[in-house]
A and B are shown apart, each in its own frame.
Chain A
């Protein structure tokens, strides 16, 4: 999956598991960030339905000077409350409002905005006092079913909080937005439409979206573009370095944990346990033995992992798993500078994509880079930049971008000619996909954009 349960340590800590990150330009000179956590929630999750971790610090990070360190951080901390400790029920009647008396287990959160200030004398990164702190913002309930959460979409919409200053926030359960044929891909790299060509062939078929009816918990934030750019302006020149930001999500826990009867408390500094910029990086680029280490480091330390980007394991596996299908890729032994550009530095204008770049400098950092001067495309192409849609992945990421196919084709070699014109991609590199587009779930046409979660009543066995 994009980054669901991707690391041995983190898979034991789902509440802190950052599963996907999206960043895309939205109307009114705003940008929307979505970070999701808690992978593969079965909608019928009662009696204790899913929630964010009350002992986790969730962050949306924005780097606007290309050093792999956030200049702007939005932090989210959650608190749960039981309004009636004498019942085992999540709710004792229909939940018709966010302050409904019949809703027993509810969750509130605090958002804090921090802006980086000048580093300390010894180079330590420092942040100023919070630009703002907004507390006691309610999450919506989970989508239980027609009796408990009637008219769920309207109820959840009430949890969109206007923060003032053209900012909106929402945090709560949402439908899983990632789409992928997980069952086949992790069965030795099978791809439904092409599995007849696999080393261990089975009849070709359609892709199956393995996570089509599960939920996640998402933090969605819409802010003015000028709030996150380096010069405080809305950029208009796509070729200006000031037009590009790098975005990633993260989750941290306190260093220590003290357990007592019926409770536990953390202590010490926050320690990062999960991060995510580009989809699938920790999932398929970083080897298992270093995934948790990768999660603990900031993007500024990405150079520690450079070798896995320059010579990705998947690029070596494709010719083995699909004999005779990728001969040119098999023969290519140079560093994958194309993948380094896409995933670690951004694509420089010198590559020659007309009126486009999202280069942030030579510092290698896994960030979702977004050129904010690229206007909104009213007809987004699922293959994004691969099909000439410069507003799509890997320029930011929209909910409908088919990132599995984009990255599969990139790893298979279609992007090598951008940096090495001597290379001719294999024919298959331009057509392989996992066959799960279009996604079956519905997205919203307004904030928070990510779709209404499935209810346990409607999907009793996800």
Chain B
């Protein structure tokens, strides 16, 4: 996965500015962010999971706790790396 810049973050989202962040996490919601980064190819099931508005709410930035709101459910994830990227992209 390419480093996420503010520009690419917004440009590549298909369902809103936070969609790409949700997609990255849903691929491996309980796996470390580093593991998720070993593959930059979304599987069909990855893509299907975010085929609608997928939003991310940062619950606790310091601890990397986020909620990913997929079209039909909420998933709680701890991923400090992802939160760090979102925070930097949001500045």
A187 at the interface (CB under 8 A from B): no
Contact residues in B for A258 (Cβ distance below 8 Å): 15-16, 53, 55
| Bound: A267/B72 CA distance, A | 6
B residues less than 8 Å from A255 (CB atoms):
67, 69, 74
Interface string of B53-75 (1 = CB under 8 A from A): 11101000000000101111110
Q: Does A460 contact B (CB under 8 A)?
A: no
Q: Which of A260, A267, A268: most chain B Cβ within 10 A?
A: A267
The answer to whether A324 has its CB under 8 Å from any CB of chain B is: no
Residues of B within 8 A of A268 (CB): 55, 67, 69-70, 73-74
User: How many chain A residues have a CB neighbour from B under 8 Å?
Assistant: 10
In the complex, chain A residues whose CB is within 8 Å of the CB of B69: 254-256, 267-269
Interface class of chain A by DSSP? strand
Q: Point out the residues of chain A lying under 8 angstroms from B72, CB to CB.
A: 267
User: For the complex, what is the distance from the CA of A267 to the CA of B22, rounded to whole Å?
Assistant: 12
Contact of A265 among B52, B67, B74 (CB under 8 A): B52
A260-B16 Cα distance, complex, nearest whole Å: 9
In this complex, the interface size class of chain B, counting residues with CB under 8 Å from chain A, is 10 to 19
Name the residue of chain B whose CB is nearest to the CB of A267.
B69
Which of chain A's residues has its CB closest to B16's CB?
A258
* Contact partners of B54 in chain A: CB under 8 A: 267
217-264 of chain A: CB within 8 A of chain B: 254-256, 258, 260
Q: Which residue of A lies closest to B19 (CB)?
A: A258
Please report the C-alpha to C-alpha distance between residue A256 and residue B70 in the assembled complex, in whole angstroms. Answer: 9
Give the residue name and chain of the B residue nearest to A264 (CB).
Answer: B53
B67: chain A residues within 8 A (beta carbon): 255, 268
User: Please, how many angstroms separate the alpha-carbon atoms of A118 and B13 in the complex?
Assistant: 41
B73 → A minimal CB distance (Å)? 6
* Cβ–Cβ < 8 Å partners of A269 in chain B: 69, 73-74
Closest to A258 in B: B53
Query: For residue B54, which residue of chain A has the nearest CB?
Result: A267
Beyond A265-B52, A268-B67, whether A256 also contacts B73 by CB under 8 A is no
Q: Once bound together, how far apart are the Cα atoms of A387 and B48, in whole Å?
A: 60
CB distance from A114 to the nearest CB of B (A): 15
What residues of chain B lie closer than 8 Å to A256, measured between beta carbons?
53, 55, 57, 69
**Once bound together, how far apart are the Cα atoms of A265 and B71, in whole Å?**
8
What is the CA–CA distance of A254 and B72 in the complex, to the nearest angstrom?
A: 8
Q: Chain B residue with minimal CB distance to A265? A: B53
How far is A254 from B55 in the complex, measured between Cα atoms in Å?
A: 12
Q: Identify which of residues 254-284 in chain A touch chain B, using a CB-to-CB cut-off of 8 Å.
A: 254-256, 258, 260, 265-269
A267 to B69, CA, bound (A): 5
- Nearest Cβ distance between residue B44 and chain A, in whole angstroms? 20
Kindly list chain B residues whose C-beta atoms are within 8 Å of the C-beta of A260.
16
Q: In residues 33-91 of chain B, which contact A (Cβ within 8 Å)? A: 52-55, 57, 67, 69-74
Determine the chain B residues whose CB is within 8 A of the CB of A266 once the complex forms. 53, 71
Shortest B51–chain A CB gap in Å is: 11
A260 to B69, CA, bound (A): 17
The CA-CA distance from A269 to B55 in the complex, in Å, is 12
Name the residue of chain B whose CB is nearest to the CB of A269: B74
CB-nearest residue of chain A relative to B53? A258
Residues of B within 8 A of A254 (CB): 69
- Could you list which residues of chain A lie within 8 angstroms of chain B, going by C-beta atoms? 254-256, 258, 260, 265-269
Given contacts A254-B69, A267-B71, 7 further A-B contacts (CB under 8 A): A255-B74, A256-B69, A258-B55, A265-B52, A265-B71, A268-B55, A269-B74
Pull 15 A–B residue pairs with CB atoms less than 8 Å apart, ordered by A.
A255-B67, A255-B69, A256-B69, A258-B15, A265-B71, A267-B52, A267-B53, A267-B54, A267-B55, A267-B69, A267-B71, A267-B72, A268-B69, A268-B74, A269-B73
Q: Which residues of B contact A (CB under 8 A)?
A: 15-16, 52-55, 57, 67, 69-74
